[in-house]
C-alpha cells in the first residue's frame, strides 16, 4: 500500500513539473530575442541565442563536470596510492 501511495505521489509531482515546464512560446526570452537580437552584436538570430543565452548552460555543465571530477579524485585518489 505504501508503494502505491508513493507511486501516485511521485506521478503527481512528475506531471506537475512537466506542466510547469511547458510554457507559451510567445512570451519570455523568445519574444525578447525576436525583437532585440541585434543588440547582442551578432548578425544571426540563432548564433545570438547560442552565444548569449546558452553560454550560461554550458558554463554550468563545465562547472558540474569539474566538481564531479574533483570529488572523484578526492574520494578514490587516496585508494590508488
pLDDT at 70: 93
pLDDT digits (tens, 9 = 90+) for 44-76: 777 777 777 677 778 888 999 999 999 998 888
> What are the φ/ψ torsions at residue 75 (nearest 5 degrees)?
-80, -45
> pTM to 2 decimals?
0.39
Q: Residue 42 CB: number of other CB atoms within 10 A?
A: 15
pLDDT at 12: 92
Q: Give the Cα separation of 33 and 55 in Å (integer).
A: 15
pLDDT digits (tens, 9 = 90+) for 11-45: 999 988 888 777 655 566 667 777 776 777 777 77
Name residue, grid cell 585518489: 77
Is 40 in contact with 51 (CB distance < 8 Å)? yes
Amino acid at each position: 500500500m505504501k508503494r502505491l501511495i508513493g507511486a501516485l505521489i511521485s506521478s503527481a509531482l512528475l506531471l506537475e513539473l512537466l506542466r510547469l515546464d511547458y510554457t507559451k512560446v510567445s512570451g519570455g526570452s523568445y519574444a525578447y530575442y525576436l525583437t532585440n537580437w541585434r543588440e547582442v552584436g551578432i548578425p544571426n538570430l540563432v548564433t545570438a541565442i547560442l552565444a548569449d543565452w546558452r553560454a550560461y548552460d554550458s558554463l554550468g555543465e563545465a562547472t558540474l563536470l569539474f566538481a564531479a571530477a574533483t570529488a572523484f579524485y578526492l574520494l578514490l585518489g587516496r585508494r590508488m596510492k
